[in-house]
Structure 1
């Protein structure tokens, strides 16, 4: 959606919103969009913060799995 808006010179989704969506668990879709659509691949600052959201998601999932009882 944001990539189409960029091409058509329309209002874009803010980077803050994109990062919040990635942090809320949408990072696999964001990563796929970066790979397939080459979206947000040139901005180093954006990419770094994106990978921070990925690490935070993986750490949270690991923490949940560590405290969940087996069986």
Structure 2
């Protein structure tokens, strides 16, 4: 939780700003990791769908399926 600070105290403002910068950097890193992981999952799922499409005995993913949207 954010700590209150007095805007008239410059040193407190600087510390608060630096803490905010650090938190934002961490969030950006988390978002980048999550995006990379999502891309990896989508690639793996596309490969799975391609393999499944070549096997006539496996059921097909319907266009209205949530899984279908991951690959298109």
Superposition TM-score, scaled by structure 1 size = 0.44
Relative contact order higher in (CA < 8 Å, ≥ 6 apart): 1
Higher helix share: 1
Superposition TM-score, scaled by structure 2 size = 0.44
